[in-house]
Structure 1
Amino acid sequence: MPKDYPKDLKLYEVWVETYYPGEFSKVHKGTSHSFRFVKVGGKFRFYGLTSIP
Structure 2
Amino acid sequence: MIALNAGAALYVADKVDSIKAGVALALDTMKQGSAAKKMAELAEFSQGLNE
Relative to the length of structure 2, the TM-score reads: 0.22
Greater per-residue strand proportion: 1
Q: Relative to total residues, which structure has the larger helix share, 1 or 2?
A: 2
Quick check: which has more Rg, 1 or 2?
1
